[in-house]
Structures are given as structure tokens and as C-alpha cells.
Amino acid sequence: MSFKRSFGVLMHPTSVPGPYGIGDLGGNTYKFIDFLHNCGAKLWQIMPLGPTGYGDSPYACFSAIAGNPLLISPDELLKDGLISKDDLKNIPSFPAERVDFGPVINYKYSLYKKAYANFKKLAPDGEIISDYNKFVSCPDSKLWLDNFALFMALKEKHGGAVWCDWPKALAIREKSALEKARKDLADEYEFHKFLQYLFIKQWLKVKEYANKFGISVVGDIPIFVAYDSADVWSNPEIFHLDSNGKSTVVAGVPPDYFSEDGQLWGNPLYRWDELERRGFDWWFFRVREVLRMVDIIRIDHFRGFEGCWEVAAGSKTAVKGRWVKTKGREMFETLKRLMGELPIIAEDLGVITPEVEKLRDDFNFPGMKVLQFAFSADTNNAYLPHNFNHNCVVYSGTHDNETTRGWFDGLPASIKKSVLEYADCDARQVHSAFIKLAVSSTAVFAVVPLQDILGLDNRARMNIPGRASGNWGYRYGARDLKASLSAGLKKLCRIYGRL
């Protein structure tokens, strides 16, 4: 697909300020979109919107399709009459600068239970009930919603246990066991459908507001899904599992920039032969549903569509693995035939071979350039802006990187000197200089994390790969989005043709 030269900001909705302990889809998200518009930005990049599990990672969700209920706005529930002002009187004293996920989950779900109780009392011919019934009865919703809602209800019933540790009849999805569970857990089952209705209603309203200003939402599809997910539980035949439902091989990456032991992600790997036999129906449905929620997709770990790093289940690190060929080309050909040109960005970082580059280029997917990777070699480094081609997306850093300020502060003196010479700036302005390098480059998209716009150090870092907890919590301040910042960014966008 041919994209238009644009500027964008990377900011996940959990990072929005507000009183409820975590960013949500209420008024401050609309204010952020106003800030984007004032910057001249035409892109808002987010991470996966799914319901997060252990570790709170948006890259390890209970579903590849469902939304994260923690993003539901209490203020929007109040507007809809599903909760009262009294329900919002005793908000806990949450930290403003970080998400403390445990207390947030407890608080927000107590609100959702109140909203659900009030929802059940509404007149059956009312607008909300009618809207909800349309949502749950929609054929596309039924393809994922029933399985997801039952998965979550069963997970709660079994104390959060991984699905393979449930009673075997439920783990292997015996029809009679599932029917009994739906009956026994009817209220819990409907509660999770209700949460998905609220999330999608609120999110699509936010997306519509962004689109009104010509801002496209760049979403994220991780190539792999979490083992403990409705996806694997309800589609075991497309994953490498043994007769007990346990993974036989898992995903990761070999040693790289981020980790000398590689990264052992632990996700189950696909049976690409089975996916191909089914006409890649699961992937078609996944991409189609995500494109209902966003305008452009960034595919995380794109190289896995040419070959993936396969590690034996139970391994302690990802060092001992092997590259295994996959069926990405056949899949993208199928999707293109069914859907037309695909609005996809390929995350092509890490160990990239000529075969991966050819797969990316044959489908005209722009790859990624990260400025923080540009200063470890000579002037031929592919991440230096003077070496870019047009069809790429440049980032100062990603959610996995240090902030630009934090990264620069930790560099050896010799590399600092190279950075300052190339960016033509002093040490205090490295973050601003990197934004200018990105915006002025030939890359079709220039995207920067909000933390770099604000000039923050590593205390504002979003994620440290390989760290099991303490990630994903960054929140910006209510007064951070200053008019002077948006005016400066808009000037850059005007000068370098990104308006």
C-alpha cells in the first residue's frame, strides 16, 4: 500500500493521565488527540489493545481480538447512566506517574460489577440494551466473543489457572462440558460479554474522533499469541501442542541487541501446514477484526513470517534454538487476494536475512528504522537517516527501547561524540534533535514516543525486554502536553512536508 508522508506519536492509552489509576478512553484521551492534531500529526501509534494477563504486557493477552476492560472509562459509564456520581466518590489514591496494576484491577472491576448490575435492570427496549443485543448477536462477534467470554468465566472459576490445568473435559472442549459451563456460569459469561461491549463502544468513539482530524490509528499485531489465551484454547489444532494441550516448542529470538541470552517468549508456535490447509482462515479473521479497530497495522516480529526461532518447551533460555521456515508468503498472498492491498508496517528489527527483506519488499510493506541503533558502526549503518529509502518508518525509539535521553546518558563518551556531531546539537537537546532527524528524513512515516517529545529520562521507560514485572506503567502528566510543544512539532512537520 502506498502511504502518505506523515508524522506520528507513539503513546498507549494506559499512559493517559486521570484519577482512576490507569489511562482510559475518557476525556483525557480526547485531549491527547487534540494535541496530535495541533502537532500536525496524522498518526497515533498504540500497542495491542487486548486484555492483559500476567506481567500486564499488551504483548501477552488473553485474546488476540478482545479489548482490555481496564481501558473502559468510568466517566463514560457515568454519562451512560450505568454508574452514579456516588460510585465515584471514594477513588483510591493512585500514583499519578505509574500504573499500579493490582489495585487498579480491583478498583475498576468493582465499578464494572456495579455497572453490570445496573445494566441488568434496564428496560429491555432501551437504547443500551438494544445496542448490546446487536453487538452480541452479530455473526462476526460470535466468532470470537462466545469463546472469549467463556474462557474468562472459566479462568475465574478455576482461580486464574492456565486452561490446560482445568478439568480435562473443559481443557479439551468437550461439547457437553462447555454447554454445562455456559449454564452454570451464565452470569459471569454475560459479564465478560458486557465488558467487551463497553470497551468496543468506547474505543470506536475515540477512533472516530481521531479519524475526524485525519489521524490514522496504527495498531499492533504480535505475530504470536499467549499460550494462556482463548485463541489457543479454542483453536488447539493450529498450534504445536501435545495430547495434553501442552506446547512442544515455543517462540523466541536468538541473542541480539536486547539480550545476550536471546529472548525466550514462550508463545506456542503455529502449525503452518494446518493454517495453509484451512486457507489461513484464522489469520484472515484476526487481521480483519483488528482492522475494524485501527487503520494501519504494525506486525511485531515480522521476520517470523519467513522463519521463526523455535526453542524446545521447557528451555531456560533462547540460546539453543533453530530457525524454522514458515508460510508467511502464502498467507500474505491469501490475505491480499481476499482483502486487497494491506495497510501493514513490518517490524523488521533483529536478525534480518535477504529472504525476510524480499518478503517485506514483495508486498511493499515499509520496514522500521530506529535511530538509537544508528551509532554502533560506521557511516554505512542502515539506521542512519542518510541511508534510508523512502518506504520505511523511522522511530527515535520504540516501546522496548530506553528513552532517547536515557539512552544517550548511558553511552560511552566516544559514541556520544558521534551522536552530537551527526545530530548537530548539544547533549541537553538530543531528544529534540532526534525528532528533527526523524521528521526531516526520507522515511514515509516518522513516529516518536511521547516520552521523547517530553524529553524524559529512563524513569519514563515503557518496557525492559526480559524483565518479568514492573513494565508498561508509564503515565504522562496532566500538564505535559504544552502548546509550545505542539507548535514546535507542527513547524517541523510543515518545514519537512509532513502536514
Which residue, chain included where needed, has cell 513470517?
305
Catalytic choice (76, 228, 300, 452): 300
> What is the gyration radius of the CA atoms in the chain, in angstroms?
23
The pLDDT value recorded for residue 314 is: 94
405 phi/psi in degrees, rounded to 5: -65, -45
Single out the residue of 11, 49, 47 nearest to residue 481, CA to CA. Answer: 11
Contact, 40 vs 498, CB < 8 A?
yes
pLDDT at res. 351 = 74
Angle at CA of residue 20, ends 19 and 26, nearest 5°: 85
Query: Is 41 domain-assigned?
Result: yes
Residue 376 has pLDDT above 90, yes or no: no
pLDDT-wise least confident of 433-437, 451-455, 466-470: 466-470
Catalytic member of 347, 348, 402, 452: 347
How far apart CA 110 and CA 480 sit, in angstroms, is 30
Angstrom distance (rounded) from CA 218 to CA 379 = 31
Question: Per-residue pLDDT tens for 302-327?
Answer: 999 999 999 999 999 999 999 999 99
Measured CA to CA, the distance from residue 212 to residue 215 in angstroms comes to 7
* Domain CATH code at residue 167: 3.20.20.80
Task: Answer yes or no: is 1 within a domain.
Answer: no
Cα 460 off chain centre by: 18
Spatial neighbors of 246 by CB under 8 A, at least 6 apart, are: 164, 313
pLDDT higher than 80, residue 471: yes
277 domain residue, yes or no: yes
Share of the chain above pLDDT 90, in %: 93
Supply φ then ψ for residue 253, to 5 degrees. -135, 150
- For the cut 90, the answer to whether the pLDDT of residue 26 exceeds it is yes
Supply the pLDDT for residue 2.
85
Residue 432's closest CA among 451, 457, 453, 463? 453
Tell me the per-residue pLDDT of 65-114, one tens digit each, with 9 for 90 and over: 999 999 999 999 999 999 999 999 999 999 999 999 999 999 999 999 99
Task: Report how far residue 232's alpha carbon sits from residue 327's, in angstroms, rounded to the nearest whole number.
Answer: 19
CA distance 65 to 403: 30
Q: Mean per-residue pLDDT for 290-296?
A: 98
Percent of the chain with pLDDT over 70: 100
What's the whole-number mean pLDDT along residues 112-123?
97
Domain boundaries, position 153: 6-495
Indicate whether 436 belongs to any domain. Answer: yes
Catalytic status, residue 347: yes
Q: For the chain, what is the mean pLDDT?
A: 96
In angstroms, how far is CA 476 from the centroid of its own chain?
18
- Which amino acid would we find at residue 244? N
300 is catalytic: yes
C-alpha to C-alpha distance for 52 and 67, rounded to whole angstroms: 9
Length of the chain equals 499
pTM as predicted: 0.97
Alpha-carbon distances of 323 from 246, 264, 309, 311, 400, rounded to whole Å: 21, 14, 5, 9, 23
Residue 387: Cβ-neighbour burial (10 angstroms; 0-12, 13-18, 19+): middle
pLDDT value at position 99? 98
Q: Count the domains in the chain.
A: 1
Q: What are phi and psi of 427, to 5 degrees?
A: -60, -30
With 0-12 / 13-18 / 19 or more C-beta atoms within 10 angstroms meaning exposed / middle / buried, residue 234 is middle
Task: Say which residues have a Cβ less than 8 Å from residue 129's Cβ, sequence separation at least 6.
Answer: 119, 122, 123
The active-site residue, picked from 190, 400, 402, 452, is 400
Confidence of residue 258 (pLDDT cuts 50, 70, 90): low
Nearest to 309 by CA among 224, 243, 400, 232: 224
**Nearest-CA neighbor of 438 among 429, 430, 447?**
447
185: cell is: 456460569
pLDDT band at 465 (very low <50, low <70, confident <90, very high): confident
